[in-house]
Amino acid sequence: MDHQTTKAAVFKAKEMAATAKVEAGEFATSAAGRALDLAKSTATGAKTVSDRVVATAKKVDENHQEIAAKTDTVSMGLGIAAGVAVAGAKLTAIPLVVAASPAIGGAAAVVGVVAGSAHFYSKWKTKKAKSQTADGEQPKVKE
């Protein structure tokens, strides 16, 4: 290879490197812009979800006695259904009853935990409200 060809090859390599550097910079700028847009969009979505969770929690807190009563009723109904299903599974060999029995029992257990939690939370809230009233504080009014 002669000196002119080598110089031409080096020049071409430098030219290609400069072009690649410019293109990489443009790509990086574009990627950074997209990442920023994605971050903003994610933050907005997270705030929306957070606001909804807070609003729902406030609504549950305001209606704690009603929720406790309803979950207790559902829990009792499922408990009775689970008992009937277990008794039916022992008395008969009907595959549907035998298969449904553990599922109903599992659902009754889960709803029982939810109902128990709602019941004790409601008792705590009621006791706290009575305590605040006895201490001379004004109970919080629903907004």
CA distance 9 to 86: 86
pLDDT digits (tens, 9 = 90+) for 84-143: 777 777 777 667 666 777 777 788 888 888 888 888 888 888 888 888 887 766 655 554
Domain ranges of the chain: 1-62, 63-132
pLDDT digits (tens, 9 = 90+) for 28-46: 777 777 777 777 777 777 7
pTM for this model (two decimals): 0.45
Residues 6 or more apart whose Cβ sits within 8 Å of residue 64: 118, 121, 122, 125, 126
